[in-house]
Amino acid sequence: MRYLLLLSVLFYFSACQQDQTKVVEIPELLDRSEKLQYSVEWSETRNKYADLKYKLKQNPENIEAKLQLCNLYITEARITGEHGHYYPAALAMTESVLNNKTLKKDDQFLALSFKASVQLSLHDFKNALVTAQKAVELNPHNAQIYGSLVDAYVELGNYDAAVEYADKMVSIRPDLRSYSRISYLREIHGMIDESIEAMKMAVEAGSPGSEEKSWAALQLAQLCFRYDKVREAESILNQILTEREDYPFAIGALAEINMKEKNYEEAERRLIEACQIIPEVSFCVNLAEIYKIQNRQKELDSILLVIKEMLNDDIAHGHNMSLEYSELFLNFYSDPTKAMEYIKKDLEMRPNNIDINLLLAKIYALSKDKEKAEFAIEKAMATNSKNPEFYEIKNELKAL
């Protein structure tokens, strides 16, 4: 798999000994896997990269080219799953822009916006919030930067602030990005039908066949799946694949439906297919779940090694994966002590976050500490979420 071949990104300026002209080393554009090489999109991406690279070779201080290249790296990270290469590349570009002493206000705003987005992707939520707040001070009329504030506040567990900024965002620009955030906030406040409605609006606002629309449709399908609208979810996922063939996350989500229906053979086939398209750890985790259910210990041991290697690679490139490691030790090694050890970092950073408290409840439940588990699950349900997983934990605790 390609993630084994990831190299650290170096980005620097050095003085040329002969003519003192500054030279910039530009992180490369990785070749996409064959199934992600959508003809027009991939061709346009390569052409744009070549054009931006040429501009920076001609003028290493071309701020516009650097910002466009940063955006390209962020987009490629989403599409290809090559986070270890593209997120450091994007951060390097933003830092190069922000270090410019004559930077214009608008360019500074864009650089900070991109930086906040990458920090969120790396689960560096506190710093992402600080970065987004700096950007808002420069331009309080841009909807997208409020999206970063919403995401940061959600992850940090400040849901009242997240609602406030989501309202601000959608009032400025009602589009796919704002509708999708409204949808998530409605879901965690127990407004399931309203959440689905908002996500449908997000999908309708997207361009057919775009990665962005496919992502929104995926969220809609997962919403339906969580709340027992399985056939509707399946229909949405199949529609995604007619518009964006081989979209790996849709394939992976269809595998989850197969798993729910105990069709493990088809689920495994789909997950392997998705893994061959992008190096996404969640696909491997679901494969591990299948092997665990079927008592296929040899395959389970093998995939767990792959998962650890993927997580370690992400960590080496600045990605906070403590939550994922905690879930790994809880779900596959039944080791609540180790799981607690890993979750502490996130617990200190975001003690009121729903997902953190849900995991905490599971850890305490496995440790047979009913009192602490009940406290954690009540904290996780403070927003009146109706997520079925919360009720499953509550029912388990009744038996302790």
- The average pLDDT across 344-350 equals 95
pLDDT, mean over the chain: 93
- More confident position, 208 or 288: 288
Longest dimension (CA), the chain: 77
* pLDDT of 227 above 90: yes
For 67-106, letters b (16+ CB in 10 Å) and e give bbbbbbbbbbbbbbbbbbbbbbbbbbbbebbeeeeeeeee
Q: Would you state the pLDDT for residue 240?
A: 97
DSSP 27: P
- The average pLDDT across 143-152 equals 98
* pLDDT of 213 above 90: yes
Question: Residue 21's pLDDT band (boundaries 50, 70, 90)?
Answer: very low
Q: Would you state the pLDDT for residue 39?
A: 72
Range name among 15-29, 31-45, 52-66, 339-353 with the lowest pLDDT average: 15-29
* pLDDT of 318 above 80: yes
Q: Would you state the pLDDT for residue 17?
A: 32
- What residue ranges define each of the domains in the chain, with the CATH number in brackets? 1-103 (no CATH), 246-315 (1.25.40.10), 321-400 (1.25.40)
- The average pLDDT across 205-211 equals 93
Alpha-carbon gap, residue 185 to 160, rounded angstroms = 10
Q: Would you state the pLDDT for residue 387?
A: 95
Alpha-carbon gap, residue 101 to 99, rounded angstroms = 6
Q: Would you state the pLDDT for residue 105?
A: 97
Angle at alpha carbon of residue 177, lines to 175 and 181, rounded to 5°: 115
Q: Would you state the pLDDT for residue 400?
A: 86
Question: Residue 108's pLDDT band (boundaries 50, 70, 90)?
Answer: very high
- The average pLDDT across 355-369 equals 97
- The average pLDDT across 17-37 equals 74
Q: Would you state the pLDDT for residue 6?
A: 34
Alpha-carbon gap, residue 65 to 49, rounded angstroms = 10
Contacts 24+ apart (CB under 8 A), 13-22: 13/60, 13/96, 21/60, 22/60, 22/61
- The average pLDDT across 204-223 equals 96
* pLDDT of 133 above 70: yes
* pLDDT of 12 above 80: no
Angle at alpha carbon of residue 282, lines to 387 and 175, rounded to 5°: 60
DSSP 125-179: HHHHHHHHHHHHHH-TT-HHHHHHHHHHHHHHT-HHHHHHHHHHHHHH--SHHHH
* pLDDT of 97 above 50: yes
* pLDDT of 10 above 50: no
Contacts 24+ apart (CB under 8 A), 293-301: 293/264, 294/264, 300/332
- The average pLDDT across 263-279 equals 97
| Percentage of the chain modeled with pLDDT above 90 | 92
Q: Would you state the pLDDT for residue 336?
A: 97
- The average pLDDT across 370-389 equals 96
Sequence length of the chain is 400
